[in-house]
A and B are shown apart, each in its own frame.
Chain A
C-alpha cells in the first residue's frame, strides 16, 4: 500500500507534504495519532459514538486548516486543540438542552464536596499502572461534565487557568472552583475504591 511508504517519515515532513495537498501523507498522520485524538474526545464526551464523530470531524477540520499550522506546537498538540474545541462546542449545545438539576446548581459552590473529609492516605499506593488508570477512568466518569472537563484540560492538557477560562467561556474564578472540587471528588472516589479493595 502507498501509505506504507510514509511510515518512517517524521511528522514534520508529513505535515509539509500534507500542506501541499498530499492526502497519503495526511492519512499516515491520522494513522499515527488517531488514538490520541479519539481518546481526548472520549475522555470529554464519555460516549463512543460522539467521540468517534467528533474525532473524525477534527481530522477533516485539520486537513482544511493545515495552512494555518505553522509549527508553533507539535502537530498532535494542534490537532488535540481542534478536537477539544469541537467537544466543548458539543457540550455547550447539550448543556442548553439539559434542565438544571440540583447537582448542577451545587457544582459551582462545591455541593457535597465541601463537607468531604480530607484524604490523608494515598489510595493509589502499590497499584499497578494499568489498575490505576482504570480507577482514574472510573472516577472521571462519575464527575460532572464541567468538573471533568476542567480537570482534563488542566491535568492532562496542562493548560493554565486563564487558557481554560477562555476555552470554556467562563471566569478564572469558576475554573479554580471547578478544579478544586473536581480534585477533591477524585481523591474521595479513589479512596473509596481502595476501601472496597481492602474489604
Chain B
C-alpha cells in the first residue's frame, strides 16, 4: 500500500480530513481489505493508548521538591532587583545609544577639522568634494568656503531605478565621451 494512502487512513481516523475527503477514504476502505486491516490496527492502538498514560510520581518528598523551586524563584527575583545591575541595565538601555551618537558626532567634527587644516589650506583650495559609497546609500558632500556653503546629497541605492532622467544623463555622458 502506498504511503500516501496509509497516512490518509490515519488522518481519517484522527478526524483531520475534510468531509469530502473523509467520505472518499470511507468508500475506499469498504472495498480494500488491506486498508481495512491497517485502519483496524491504527484504531486499536489509538484505543489502548487513550487514558492509559503510564503513571509516574515525583521520586522526592514534596518539601524537597518545592524547596528547589522556591529557591530558584527567590534567586530569579533577587538578581534584577539589585541596585548595581539595575543601574547598569538602565545605562545600557538609555545611554549606550547616546554614546554611539556622540561618537559619530565627534568623528564627524574630527573629519571636518582635518579637512579644514590639511585640504583647505588658506586660499589655495576653497572647495572640497567628498563622496561616500556604501551598499545601501551613497552620499556626496560639497563645501565651499568663499560661498560659505555646505551641501550633502544622500541617495537611497535600493530605490534606484533606471528612469528617463537617468537615460538622458547617460546620453549626455556618452556625448561628452564622443566629443
Query: Measuring CB to CB, which residues of chain A are less than 8 angstroms from any residue of chain B?
Result: 23, 27, 30-31, 34-35, 38-39, 42-43, 48, 52, 55-57, 59-60, 63-64, 110, 118-120, 122, 124, 129, 132-134, 136-137, 140, 151, 154-156, 160-161, 173, 176-177, 179-180, 183-184, 186-187, 190
Q: For the complex, would chain B's binding face be called helix, strand, loop or mixed by DSSP majority?
A: helix
**Docked CA distance A190–B94 (Å):** 62
Q: How many A-B residue pairs have CB under 8 A?
A: 112
Candidates B10, B72, B76; contact of A176 at CB < 8 Å:
B10
Task: Verify if B70 is at the interface (C-beta below 8 Å from A).
Answer: yes
Q: Are B66 and A183 within 8 A (Cβ)?
A: no
From known contacts A30-B65, A30-B69, A31-B66, infer whether A60 and B41 are also in contact, taking CB-CB under 8 Å. no
From known contacts A160-B16, A187-B45, A190-B48, infer whether A38 and B7 are also in contact, taking CB-CB under 8 Å. no
Q: Are B48 and A132 within 8 A (Cβ)?
A: yes
Q: Enumerate chain A residues within 8 angstroms of B6, measured Cβ to Cβ.
A: 180
Candidates A55, A129, A177, A186; contact of B7 at CB < 8 Å:
A177
**Docked CA distance A87–B27 (Å):** 41
Stretch at the interface among B52-60, B98-106, B139-147: B52-60
Category for how many chain B residues contact A: 35 or more
**Docked CA distance A155–B53 (Å):** 9
Q: Enumerate chain A residues within 8 angstroms of B58, measured Cβ to Cβ.
A: 34-35, 38, 52, 55
Q: Enumerate chain B residues within 8 angstroms of A27, measured Cβ to Cβ.
A: 66, 70
Q: Enumerate chain A residues within 8 angstroms of B59, measured Cβ to Cβ.
A: 48, 52
Q: Are A39 and B55 within 8 A (Cβ)?
A: yes
Subset of 17 A-B contacts with CB under 8 Å: A34-B62, A39-B57, A52-B58, A52-B65, A55-B58, A56-B65, A56-B69, A56-B72, A63-B73, A129-B52, A132-B48, A136-B52, A136-B54, A154-B14, A173-B7, A184-B41, A187-B44
Candidates B7, B56, B62, B73; contact of A180 at CB < 8 Å:
B7
Candidates A38, A137, A183; contact of B46 at CB < 8 Å:
A183
Q: Are A120 and B16 within 8 A (Cβ)?
A: no
User: In the complex, how many angstroms separate the beta carbon of A129 from the nearest chain B beta carbon?
Assistant: 7
Q: Are B69 and A155 within 8 A (Cβ)?
A: no
